[in-house]
Amino acid sequence: STGGDVPSNVVAIYRILQSIKLDENGRAVPDQTMKEALEEGFEEWGPDLSTGAISELQKSIRAGMAGPAGEEVAQILENYYRFRLAEMEFEGQPINQSPADHYEKLVQLRRGSLGAETADKLFEVENTNGRHMFAAIAIQTNANLTDEEKQAQQQALQETLNDRLLALGLLDPGEAAAEKVDRMREQGASSADIYA
């Protein structure tokens, strides 16, 4: 590809524009939906876009979305593209630290490329799940805890995760409540306790 053929990319731009939610001030809200659209765009464009081609994509975004939101999204697109290139390089290096430390380095790379606020919002779901996983592994592999303590800590961790996922709109409140009741039953809670 010459990096100049943008028409085929219009579909990806359209997807990005469709994914955008605006807050009450008309600013773009970076979230999971925007991240998925940016990701699809990156997959479609590949890692070799020229600076000129990126500018063309940004022009299409500004044309499709007027005002400060269009500007913001055009900037996020460029930052995200550059982040993905840096991430590919980062993931290509030998890992010489724990998976949790490696993940935190990746989080720092995202924040450095995209700005802390945008990165944290775009990757909120991934960060929530990633940190949950590392915390769960840390509990399971902690030799100083009894099995009961491990179970109690895992349950507390799961509740925290469910609260976060509820807040992000990724967990159905009914499902969360049903899961909580199941956990209480497993712990031998009476029906009166559960009802309370």
With bands split at pLDDT 50, 70 and 90, how would you rate the model's confidence at 111?
A: very high
State if pTM tops 0.85: no
pLDDT digits (tens, 9 = 90+) for 136-180: 999 999 999 999 999 999 999 999 888 888 887 777 777 777 777
- Confidence at 2, pLDDT banded by 50, 70, 90: very low
* 4 pLDDT higher than 60: no
Nearest C-alpha neighbor of 34 from the set 76, 83, 79:
76
What is the three-class DSSP state of 21? Answer: strand
- Helix 32-45 to helix 51-64 angle (10° resolution) is 140
